[in-house]
Amino acid sequence: MRPNIAEEILIDWENEALFHKMRAEQTESSNSSLLSLVINVIELLTWRDKGNGQVEAIKAMRQWLIDHEEAPPLAELIQMDTNRRSSKRNWNK
């Protein structure tokens, strides 16, 4: 038996509300993650600078992009570039 028009409208509204709730939660999570990255980068550039704070900040930003990127090819390119550069330099000396 097919639901009547009122029930169909109610189901559509419930589905739409659920979609917007999930989207808002995802946005909140992304904003929280981005704020954490910004704080980490600021710490690396100021408080925890061991002479290579800028390099560590760039590494942190690249890792965040890799972890949160929706387009895998871009994340793979960033990871390859990081690996290539780290083999040229040894910052732990």
- CA distances (Å), 12 to each of 7, 16, 24, 26, 56, in order? 9, 6, 18, 21, 48
Write down the pTM of the prediction. Answer: 0.48
User: pLDDT tens for residues 26-35?
Assistant: 888 777 878 8
**93 in a domain, yes or no?**
no
CA distance 93 to 83: 18
Could you give the number of structural domains in the chain?
Answer: 1
* pLDDT tens-digit readout, 13-66: 999 999 888 888 888 877 787 888 888 888 877 765 567 777 888 888 888 877
Asked if residue 18 belongs to a domain, the reply is yes
Q: Which domain holds residue 28?
A: 5-88
